[in-house]
Structure 1
């Protein structure tokens, strides 16, 4: 098995929304905001090459949205999904599996692109797309608070293609020999977190359960979470497990850090080490 970091670029979100009840005077120390109170966030995907499977976990915002939509999120940086794949020797056509942690636009927008005629089409033509039935139903019939994050043009063409499959909603279900799936329900219903056995270590792709190192303290829960108290419970349980079992956390949105480990301190569980995936 080989793992590769695939950066799909950076975007900006409101710092207050990203840190919930935590005051700006505290969170800006780890994630400085610009003059509009916006912080920069990564869209850090993960490529897994496992025998004959080439698995891409999440795929960023993509580039098919119109200028009016994209101007709200200030896409920036030199990285794109295509360039990052090419840098490690792959193209979109090489991908056999697209694993979608959840269907918010910054995680699945790259799934679909527009062809020269403006028609929506699969970006990964040879891939099976993976979600789970509970989250899929949640996304296609969204609540009023979350519907701005679920864009039909990112979601429905996948189902119409016939290349969509569902993972059983059983915590710990196997996705591949060295990959199992954890479920979390606080950020959105039935978000999936891949847990990967790699070089004798356990790596967990954190998606939006823990967006960045700055979110490790327990009260640092996003205002975007649908069920913040559930996130708090899930996060507390996971962080203790990660300390006890020495997990490596792969951070999808942290603009500075790819991976980290955790440790117990007098203030609670905090970051121990930060490093790149290639350092493992």
Structure 2
């Protein structure tokens, strides 16, 4: 999916919601355990309930590969089920030497046909470049994450006073373009989002940390929105685990709709 198509979907749905499919077998409703593929059945019902409000879905690959071959099958079935006009993100956080990254890129972009994949920048340009060679596919580069340990490295300053995340942004912006590269910028680092936006004014941000992790959607929009929205705000647990009974899909729909309505108001205000 190219940038223009993604922005059209945002405009059509008045939403920049990404639903994280972090599907933990131990947390899905017990009645689904009788299904042939409980993980896929859970995802299917979540997608049915939320696709009117979501512009992206983000399966976290760890939840699937932990289940072995069966998990990979559930993941592919989930990906195939997602409507084709919705952006898909393989949250895999890959990044290795060039020839290995090439195979990771082929796996997610050609074999599985995701629109994007999250990539770690630590090994530098030759570990990221192979992902950028696919037409209408996206690298989502880790820049400033929402976890507590992010300060261990990302906020370390160099001799000229720049934090490492800023060095990553400035350098990596020369590798790709706003048409094929996004950045992970955590909502719990709200005070930093405006700093990131100044460095990369035109790129999309994938923003985790809203909802269960305590990030403010209003603050994210105020500091991060650009002329084409420029945001995909992810909610995982707050939507998919809103309930754990027969009505789990209805509860997920309600939470997704609530976020979409907040997003519509923010889009109307800022665009």
TM bucket normalised to smaller? 0.3 to 0.5
- Specify which structure has the higher proportion of strand: 1
Structure with greater proportional helix content = 2
Q: Taking structure 2 as the reference length, what is the TM-score of the superposition?
A: 0.33
Work out which structure has the larger RCO, using CA pairs closer than 8 Å and 6 or more positions apart in sequence: 2
Relative to the length of structure 1, the TM-score reads 0.32
